Structure 1
Amino acid sequence: MPKTRSTMPSKDIKFIAVDMDGTLLDQNSQLPEDFYSVYQQVRQRDIIFAAASGRQYYSLMETFAPISDHMIFIAENGTIVMHQGKELYRCEIDKPSIAAIIKQARAIDGAYIVLCGTQSAYIETQEPHALKEFAKYYHRCQHVNDLLAVDDDFIKVAICHFDGTEEHVLPSFESEFGQSHQVVVSAKIWLDVMNAKASKGAAIEHLQNTLGFSYEQTMSFGDYLNDLEMLKASYHSYAMDNAHPKVKQTARFSAPSHHEAGVMTVIKRELLD
């Protein structure tokens, strides 16, 4: 069971990475009411704040529009990191792998594919239910006739299955791609396939090395399986009260649920009090 408070001095925190859905955002996908006030206090202490999400970079930019120039965006589950419009890190998937992943996903009944490139996301379906779901996470998205014909640099393939990806998509993808790629359930109805080296944790480790902050100076918050590597890359790792059981087992500490603005509660208690 994760502890509720840190046992190391948290005043030396230099970097905070926060997952979005199920972590920072509430049940209505809204930022906490006091987010911008807390953010400004964090920034005044020279702490870097990063959104670490499976969401697209362009979606994150829109969510944090008032402060987007000051934040770091660890987008697409760590496959790309951006700051002030500049790319700090990228982890691509080769095109033969992309083709194999798409063909595998097409064979699963009820699976909807989002091909994630650095310039845009790409979809084949026009099914309204799927389009509504995609719009939450991919604000730059193009409909194409054939995903295999798209020309872009690819960082992720996201697969949506409304009956649950852990049950309907993960088994076949782990069997086919688990040894060669990062296959992670990012939400109940989403699964991502990425380069084997890609994760939110790998992106954070890159930033630790390039920006000069340490594992002990890193704080992170997460709720789902795509957050595991991020939590492992942070000493001050927090699982939300609503987190997946494996996340609670991995994190060192616990935070109140996203319904209760748990991220804000911990930051104020540990860093601002």
Structure 2
Amino acid sequence: MFEVTPEPHDLARVRFIASDMDNTLLDGEGQLPDGVFERVVALSELGVTFAIASGRPLVTLRALFPRLRSQIVLIGDNGGVISNRDEVIYQAELPVADYQRMVRFANGFGDIPTIVSPDTAYLAERDRSNDEVFATFYYDRTYVEDLATVSAVADKFTIYLPGEDSIPRAEADYEPAFGKDFSVVTSGSVWIDITPKDMDKGGAMRHVSELLGIDTADMMAFGDTFNDAAMLETVGFGYIVANATPGMERYARLVAPSNVDHGVLTVMDQVIAAKRAALGVSES
């Protein structure tokens, strides 16, 4: 566990807050902690936009946040698609020939690949036995006999590694094969994500900065593992949670309490208090 850092003195300048989900915003049971909706509303009233920045597809995020989807920014597929108040404002695209090549490469190792499109996740019929795992991340799933024949619009290619060796496998196999032309990142111990070059959560922060007119220096973000690194480096207030993956301290200067201790909510409260103090607004 990392040691929590003191509250920054300039939180009143924050205009945008993005949070990863798993092991960051979600609690130890994988559930959204109580009070998120109320804090999002309070932040909005103070001119601060809240965002979910996840490796999950947009269709899944919309289903998970029915009360919030029309009020917040949703960043899916590690930055591949961005929705602002339920309107898609950015969509990346992975070339069909390239992700078909990735399927054949993954099949050669006996790995479990997924092609992620805006509306569904394409998986091989042979891998349906893992559907309980996939259902947690992909709200809509389409199983096909030959994944290498899919030719849909897609922005991410993901490999599921139940052996929990994503980091060494990414370094040994997928980075050498695809890292020159694509972004290859790990998400926890069982996922490798391959996306268009520069398509990551950091790129999403830059897109949001441009599209919404918010300086990245006035943005805050929370994460726990390496697919969050670019996002944390991009914003002015980058936080890892205390339970973050070892090595993540290189990418953020601030540490929030752990997800079990609802660290994201703690810092959101600090921002709300700082904004109210700066505006001379009393707590209602």
TM over 0.5: yes
Separation in structure 1 between the aligned mates of residue 149 and residue 106 of structure 2, nearest angstrom: 16
Shift of residue 193 of structure 1?
0.5
Q: How many residues align?
A: 272
Separation in structure 1 between the aligned mates of residue 102 and residue 171 of structure 2, nearest angstrom: 12
SS at 1:11 equivalent: helix
Alignment of 1:174-253 (within 5 A): 174-253=175-254
* Root mean square deviation of aligned Cα: 1.7
Q: In the alignment, is residue 257 of structure 1 matched against residue 258 of structure 2? A: yes
Shift of residue 128 of structure 1?
5.6
State the match for 1:115 in structure 2: 115
Shift of residue 201 of structure 1?
0.6
Shift of residue 140 of structure 1?
1.2
Shift of residue 6 of structure 1?
4.7
State the match for 2:62 in structure 1: 61
Shift of residue 174 of structure 1?
0.8
* Greater CA drift, 117-126 or 223-232: 117-126
Shift of residue 148 of structure 1?
2.1
Instruction: Look up the equivalent residue of 2:115 and give its one-letter code.
Output: L
SS at 2:214 equivalent: coil
State the match for 1:135 in structure 2: 135
Shift of residue 47 of structure 1?
0.8
Report the CA distance shift for 1:79/1:180 in structure 2 as closer, same or farther (over 3 A): same
Alignment of 1:14-29 (within 5 A): 14-29=15-30
State the match for 2:88 in structure 1: 87
Do the aligned partners of 1:78 and 1:203 also contact (CA within 8 Å) in 2? yes
| Structure 2 unaligned blocks of 5 or more | 275-284
Q: Deviations over 1:20-61 (max 9, x none)?
A: 001000121111112122222111112111100001111111
Separation in structure 1 between the aligned mates of residue 171 and residue 90 of structure 2, nearest angstrom: 27
| Structure 1 unaligned blocks of 5 or more | none
Percent of counterpart pairs with the same letter?
A: 27
Shift of residue 129 of structure 1?
5.0
Separation in structure 2 between the aligned mates of residue 125 and residue 243 of structure 1, nearest angstrom: 34
Shift of residue 65 of structure 1?
0.6
* Greater CA drift, 140-149 or 172-181: 140-149
Do the aligned partners of 2:56 and 2:78 also contact (CA within 8 Å) in 1? yes
Do the aligned partners of 1:161 and 1:169 also contact (CA within 8 Å) in 2? no
Instruction: Look up the equivalent residue of 1:204 and give its one-letter code.
Output: M
Separation in structure 2 between the aligned mates of residue 234 and residue 112 of structure 1, nearest angstrom: 33
Instruction: Look up the equivalent residue of 2:137 and give its one-letter code.
Output: Y
State the match for 1:50 in structure 2: 51
Do the aligned partners of 1:41 and 1:272 also contact (CA within 8 Å) in 2? no
Do the aligned partners of 1:240 and 1:257 also contact (CA within 8 Å) in 2? yes
Do the aligned partners of 2:223 and 2:240 also contact (CA within 8 Å) in 1? yes
SS at 1:107 equivalent: helix
Separation in structure 2 between the aligned mates of residue 40 and residue 210 of structure 1, nearest angstrom: 21
Do the aligned partners of 1:6 and 1:236 also contact (CA within 8 Å) in 2? no
Do the aligned partners of 1:2 and 1:253 also contact (CA within 8 Å) in 2? no
Do the aligned partners of 2:69 and 2:86 also contact (CA within 8 Å) in 1? no
Separation in structure 2 between the aligned mates of residue 28 and residue 104 of structure 1, nearest angstrom: 35
Instruction: Look up the equivalent residue of 2:135 and give its one-letter code.
Output: A
Instruction: Look up the equivalent residue of 2:138 and give its one-letter code.
Output: Y
Q: Deviations over 1:67-117 (max 9, x none)?
A: 2111111100001111244221122111121111111111123x2111101
Do the aligned partners of 1:115 and 1:121 also contact (CA within 8 Å) in 2? yes
SS at 2:240 equivalent: strand
